């Protein structure tokens, strides 16, 4: 530990008496000892500059008692709050011990040490005063009032007229729920919409498929409260399901007329993508009658889908697609996959929704009977056919005839090997397009098929037959 204060100006050392000088007066020496013994036993407290707690200014270290700054003490491996390995000389000691290897100072040297200590204390106090002066100067440069300007009254009140995205979202969100299904395989999440005030909720079959095997279903409402739900009915053919909670007074959403939808209509997708509840995204209707085959081959759903560029991600399944009138025109069900991918990784601007007219018809069946039906024409299609239109298989497959005897197509004169070119004037080029177009109808509906047999083309009228899910 140094005896000198680096902040104090250099103090000239007292000249060492030579043999020719007169000897010091003993009385003067006794007086000096009495003065030295009266010095304070502890260093004088130095004022330190206290910066505000929220200040981002750099704190300047105040000098320590021995004249070294805090930073210098830390650089030397010490800190004012820590004990040092060497004891500092006591201020009342008239003969302070010097560092090892350095001769003991005489009484005149003690005066120099005392002077250095006092100068160090004064320098420390002066540093504190200087710090206060610096802060005072900074404070005086700051504005007296730090409050930021307030906006005029009503300036930030945005107009949200009826039909705006915000107004539509505010009306739809209380009727959209988050669904969690806990099974042995893990936890699945999705979305749903309130169908009826007495607790009926519509969602996708693939969201609650495990409920048929006893998995627990929990519904979380927009206000955060939860309710257990039971499965009312489901159909993989349309990827729709109805569940119910024991609650009344709920606010249902209205299923609109999806036949009135046109490309370019503004839409909102509402749901819980990736578990993020009450999420709203916007876009337009990108295409109509998009044939979508979703799910595993054994339980594939054929959807005559509404395509949208509104952001749809895993977890949006079962949530509503809402138009600018606040009506549901589709149930979000699937997203496109990029080339070479084996699993849906997220939104790429191509989402698909089950049309609301199909959802209404199927939901009513599920509530009434627990099952749903779908229409058929009674033929097997050849997926390997590469020509124009869709070809009926030329022979039976796994014991199933190419044309069901007595079925709708058989009664209309359709034969194995015939090629179906269109349905109700809508051209078809792959098997899924024809299946989707038929599934968009209801059992008992008539359809007109353009059929080519050999080189001849003709139109035939076919009345669709009903088949239940699972048959």
Pairing of strands 279-294, 301-308: antiparallel
Distances (CA, A) of 400 to 71, 327, 394, 413, 443: 91, 43, 12, 18, 21
Kindly give the interhelix angle for 26-37 and 107-141, rounded to the nearest 10 degrees. Answer: 40
Residues contacting 351, CB < 8 A, separation 6+: 269, 307, 308, 309, 310, 311, 312, 316, 332, 334, 335, 336
User: Distance between CA 307 and CA 291 in Å, rounded?
Assistant: 10
**If you write DSSP's letter for every residue of 175-236 in order, what string do you get?**
GEEEEEEEETTEEEEEEEEE-STTSEEEE-HHHHGGGGGT-EEEEE-TTS-EEEEEEEEEET
- Minimal CA–CA distance to 46: which of 23, 71, 33, 64? 64
- Which of the residues 32, 206, 418, 422 is marked catalytic? 206
Q: How far apart are the first and last CA of the chain?
A: 96
Known catalytic residue at 239: yes
- Which of the residues 3, 66, 237, 239 is marked catalytic? 239
SS3 (DSSP) at 2: coil
Known catalytic residue at 317: yes
User: Distance between CA 416 and CA 315 in Å, rounded?
Assistant: 43
Residues contacting 399, CB < 8 A, separation 6+: none
Residues contacting 463, CB < 8 A, separation 6+: 408, 444, 445, 446
- Which of the residues 64, 69, 258, 317 is marked catalytic? 317
**Cβ-count burial 14-38 (b if 16+ within 10 Å, e if not):** eeeeeeeeeeeeeeeeeebeeebee
Known catalytic residue at 206: yes
Determine the distance from the C-alpha atom of residue 146 to the mean position of all C-alpha atoms in its chain, rounded to a whole number: 35
Task: Kindly list the catalytic residues.
Answer: 206, 239, 317
């Amino acid at each position: 530990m140094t005896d000198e204060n680096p902040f104090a100006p250099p103090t000239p050392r007292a000249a060492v008496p030579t043999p020719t000088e007169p000897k010091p007066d003993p009385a003067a020496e006794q007086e000096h000892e009495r003065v030295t013994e009266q010095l304070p036993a502890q260093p004088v407290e130095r004022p330190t500059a206290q910066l505000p707690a929220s200040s981002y200014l750099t704190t300047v270290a105040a000098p320590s008692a021995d004249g070294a700054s805090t930073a210098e003490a830390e650089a030397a491996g010490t800190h004012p709050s820590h004990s040092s390995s060497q004891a500092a000389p006591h201020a009342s000691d008239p003969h302070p011990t010097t560092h090892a290897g350095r001769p003991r100072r005489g009484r005149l040297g003690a005066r120099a040490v005392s002077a250095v200590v006092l100068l160090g204390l004064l320098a420390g106090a002066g540093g504190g005063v200087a710090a206060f002066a610096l802060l005072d100067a900074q404070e005086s440069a700051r504005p007296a009032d730090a409050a930021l300007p307030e906006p005029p009254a009503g300036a930030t009140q945005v107009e949200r007229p009826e039909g705006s995205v915000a107004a539509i979202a505010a009306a739809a969100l209380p009727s959209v729920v988050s669904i969690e299904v806990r099974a042995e395989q893990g936890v699945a999440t999705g979305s749903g919409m309130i169908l009826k005030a007495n607790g009926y909720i519509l969602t996708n079959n693939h969201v609650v498929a495990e409920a048929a095997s006893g998995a627990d279903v929990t519904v979380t409402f927009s206000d955060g409260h939860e309710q257990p739900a039971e499965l009312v009915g489901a159909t993989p053919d349309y990827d729709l399901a109805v569940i119910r909670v024991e609650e009344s007074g709920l606010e249902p959403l209205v299923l609109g007329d999806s036949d009135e939808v046109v490309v370019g209509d503004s839409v909102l997708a509402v749901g819980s993508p990736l578990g993020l509840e009450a999420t709203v995204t916007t876009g337009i209707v990108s295409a109509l009658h998009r044939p979508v085959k979703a799910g595993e081959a054994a339980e594939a759903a054929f959807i005559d889908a509404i395509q949208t560029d509104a952001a749809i991600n895993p977890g949006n399944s079962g949530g509503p697609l809402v138009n600018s009138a606040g009506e549901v025109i589709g149930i979000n069900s699937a997203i496109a996959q990029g080339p070479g991918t084996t699993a849906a990784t997220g939104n790429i601007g191509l989402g698909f929704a089950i049309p609301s007219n199909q959802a209404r018809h199927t939901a009513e069946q599920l509530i009434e009977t627990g099952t749903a039906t779908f229409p058929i024409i009674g033929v097997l299609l050849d997926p390997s056919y590469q020509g124009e239109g869709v070809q009926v298989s030329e022979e039976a497959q796994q014991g199933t005839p190419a044309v069901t005897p007595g079925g709708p197509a058989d009664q209309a004169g359709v034969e194995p090997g015939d090629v179906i070119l269109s349905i109700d004037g809508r051209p078809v080029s792959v098997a899924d397009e024809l299946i989707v177009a038929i599934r968009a109808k209801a059992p008992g509906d008539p359809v007109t098929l353009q059929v080519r047999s050999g080189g001849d083309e003709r139109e035939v009228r076919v009345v669709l037959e009903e088949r239940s899910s699972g048959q």
